[in-house]
Amino acid sequence: MSMKKWMGRMKWQKITRVLLILVFAVILLALSLVVAINVPFVQTYLVQKIIRDIREKTGTVLTLQSVKIAFPNTVRISEVYIEDKNKVLYST
């Protein structure tokens, strides 16, 4: 085998190795996100950040105690309080 062919093969092996590592990293990141989203603390933290943004943009008083999401079809929200200029909604 000539040196040129050998160098070309080594180049493609390195490219293939790097691509496999990148694909593995993306899959690992996606799985980590799925696991993290299934933790109630993380769910509540994310929802609190969303509520804070809504509160700042709309000026509406909005609070939420906790959220528990069990994929794919269950969402449990506890102690919701929404106060607008004309109405108040509270649920436990």
Q: Look up the domain containing 17 and give its range.
A: 1-37
Greatest CA separation for the chain? 83
Q: Which backbone phi and psi does 28 adopt, to 5 degrees?
A: -65, -40
Residue 40 pLDDT = 81
Q: Give the span between the Cα atoms of 92 and 82, in whole angstroms.
A: 12
| Phi-psi region at 59: left, alpha or beta (left = phi > 0; alpha = psi -120 to 50) | left
**Looking at this protein, which amino acid is placed at residue 44?**
T
pLDDT at 26: 97
Q: How many domains are there within the chain?
A: 2
Pair (92, 47) in one structural domain: yes
* Residue 51 shares a structural domain with residue 92: yes
* One domain for residues 32 and 43: no
Return the number of other C-beta atoms located less than 10 Å from residue 57's C-beta: 8
- The structure's pTM equals 0.57
Query: Do 32 and 44 fall into the same domain?
Result: no
Same domain, 10 and 22: yes
- Assign 67 a pLDDT band (cuts: 50, 70, 90): confident
Is the predicted pLDDT of residue 1 greater than 70, yes or no?
no
Residues 45 and 13 placed together within one structural domain of the fold: no
pLDDT tens-place string over residues 11-61: 888 889 999 999 999 999 999 988 888 888 888 888 889 888 988 888 888
Higher pLDDT, 92 or 64: 64
